[in-house]
């Protein structure tokens, strides 16, 4: 990575010379997740006080570089949004075009995904859309959080909006080889184990950020989920791309055990939908 972004991943024991692009995309870089810096206090007050602030990618990476790496690159797995920010910077360094421009040119237009967009730091959703609600404290009120929190998920780590239909079409095309050459698709599906306690079901593996999750009926499904203030999304497709499903919830509880049950319920829904034989 150092050759692509000289001096960017440095400080506090971080060393870009030891980190590969695969480490970034597979979450084996060990880099700190910047979101802990831009939302250190999980409260409604922090959300309202900071939700309009926007950062440049370089600023977010600099925040992460203030922390020591969790482990030497390539030796373990831990999800970090900083990895995506760096990947977006690499895209622009290599191609001369932003990651948004590349996504529109290489994915959205060829697949006809007319209802998917890359809004950047523009914190408004196209109508019609669901309303999100977040409970910041146990037994506290549900707070309207439909307006995205601009300090994170405003760059290459999550600044996209779309519909379930578009997301299903994308996953199907990806798995069926419409977007990548065979060798690239094989690299995407080359996985490492995701450790227990990381919020994923037992036996989950991570490719180049395409997760392989076991199915109760055998085999597994490919996909990627996401969550934020007031929402939870799971998107998955069978490994042959023949069945694809996206499901979402639009309220999030503060109690961790209740939140885990909500995530488990969504995963069970995915499992039942993808294991159906009729």
Q: Say if residues 205 and 188 touch (Cβ distance below 8 Å).
A: no
- Residue pair 246/232 in contact (Cβ under 8 Å)? The answer is no
pLDDT score of 173? 97
* Per-residue pLDDT at 278: 46
Alpha-helical segments (H) within 51-176: 57-64, 81-95, 99-103, 109-111, 164-175
pLDDT digits (tens, 9 = 90+) for 92-107: 999 999 999 999 999 9
What topology is assigned to 1-119 in CATH?
Answer: Beta-lactamase (3.40.710)
- The dihedrals phi and psi of 95, each to the nearest 5 degrees, come to -100, -20
Q: Is 164 within 8 Å of 216 (Cβ atoms)?
A: no
**pLDDT-flagged residues of the chain (< 50):** 278
CA end-to-end span of the chain, whole Å?
A: 47
Q: Give the C-alpha separation, 224 to 236, whole Å.
A: 7
- Spell out the domain ranges in the chain: 1-119, 163-278
pLDDT for res 277: 61
Phi, psi at residue 277, to the nearest 5°? -105, -5
pTM: 0.95
pLDDT one-digit tens code per residue, 242-265? 999 999 999 999 999 999 999 999
- Give the per-residue pLDDT at 240: 93
């Amino acid at each position: 990575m150092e050759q692509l972004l000289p001096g960017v991943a440095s400080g506090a024991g971080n060393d870009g010379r030891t980190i590969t692009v695969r480490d970034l995309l597979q979450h084996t870089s060990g880099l700190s997740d910047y979101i802990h810096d831009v939302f250190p206090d999980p409260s409604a007050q922090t959300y309202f006080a900071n939700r309009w602030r926007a950062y440049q990618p370089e600023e977010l990476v600099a925040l992460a570089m203030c922390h020591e790496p969790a482990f030497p690159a390539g030796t373990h797995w831990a999800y970090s949004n900083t990895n995506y920010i760096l990947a977006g910077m690499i895209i622009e360094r290599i191609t001369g075009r932003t990651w948004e421009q590349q996504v529109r040119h290489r994915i959205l237009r060829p697949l006809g995904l007319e209802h998917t967009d890359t809004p950047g730091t523009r914190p408004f959703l196209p109508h019609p859309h669901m309303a999100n609600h977040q409970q910041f404290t146990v037994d506290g009120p549900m707070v309207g959080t439909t307006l995205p929190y601009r300090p994170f998920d405003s760059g290459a780590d999550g600044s996209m909006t779309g519909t379930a239909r578009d997301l299903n079409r994308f996953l199907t095309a990806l798995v069926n080889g419409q977007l990548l050459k065979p060798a690239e698709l094989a690299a995407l599906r080359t996985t490492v184990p995701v450790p227990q306690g990381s919020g994923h079901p037992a036996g989950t593996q991570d490719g180049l950020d395409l997760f392989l999750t076991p199915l109760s009926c055998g085999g597994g499904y490919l996909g990627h989920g996401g969550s934020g203030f007031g929402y939870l999304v799971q998107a998955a497709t069978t490994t042959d791309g023949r069945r694809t499903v996206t499901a979402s919830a639009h309220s999030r509880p503060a109690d961790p055990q209740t939140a885990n049950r909500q995530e488990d319920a969504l995963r069970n829904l995915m499992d039942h939908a993808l294991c159906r034989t009729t």
